[in-house]
Amino acid sequence: MTGWTVERAAEELLRAEEARADRGRLTDEWPELDLATAYRVQDEALRRRLARGERLVGVKLGLTSRAKQRRMGIDSPLTAWLTDAMALPAGAAVPQGRLIHPRVEPEIVFVLGERLAGPGVSAARALAAVEHVCAGAEVIDSRFRDFSFALPDVVADNASSAAFVLGATRLPPGGLDLAAEAVTVEGDGAVVHTGTGADVQGHPAEALALAANSLAGRGLAIEPGQVVLTGGLTDAVFAPPGARVTLRFANLGSIELDGGVTA
Q: Which residues contact 201 (CB under 8 A, 6 or more apart)?
A: 64, 66, 77, 207, 210, 230, 231
Q: Which of 19, 31, 28 is nearest to 141 (CA)?
A: 19
What phi, psi does 210 have (nearest 5°)? Answer: -60, -40
Write down the pLDDT at residue 127: 98
Write down the pLDDT at residue 29: 97
- Say how far apart CA 112 and CA 240 lie, in whole Å: 33
Query: What is the distance between the terminal CA atoms of the chain, rounded to a whole angstrom?
Result: 39
Write down the pLDDT at residue 99: 97
- Record the pTM: 0.95
CB of 239 closer than 8 Å to CB of 255: no
Q: pLDDT in tens for each of the 263 residues of the chain?
A: 479 999 999 999 999 999 999 999 999 999 999 999 999 999 999 999 999 999 999 999 998 877 676 666 666 789 999 999 999 998 889 999 999 999 999 999 999 999 999 999 999 999 999 999 999 999 999 999 999 999 999 999 999 999 999 999 999 999 899 999 999 999 999 999 999 999 999 999 999 999 999 999 999 999 999 999 999 999 999 999 999 999 999 999 999 999 987 76
Instruction: Specify the DSSP element, H or E, that contains 188.
Output: none
Beta bridge partners of 247: 185, 255
Beta strands in the chain (DSSP E): 56-62, 78-83, 103-112, 130-140, 163-166, 182-187, 190-196, 227-232, 237-238, 244-249, 254-258
Write down the pLDDT at residue 67: 62
Write down the pLDDT at residue 1: 43
CB of 143 closer than 8 Å to CB of 157: yes
Helices and strands, number each (H, E), in the chain: 7, 11
Write down the pLDDT at residue 260: 82
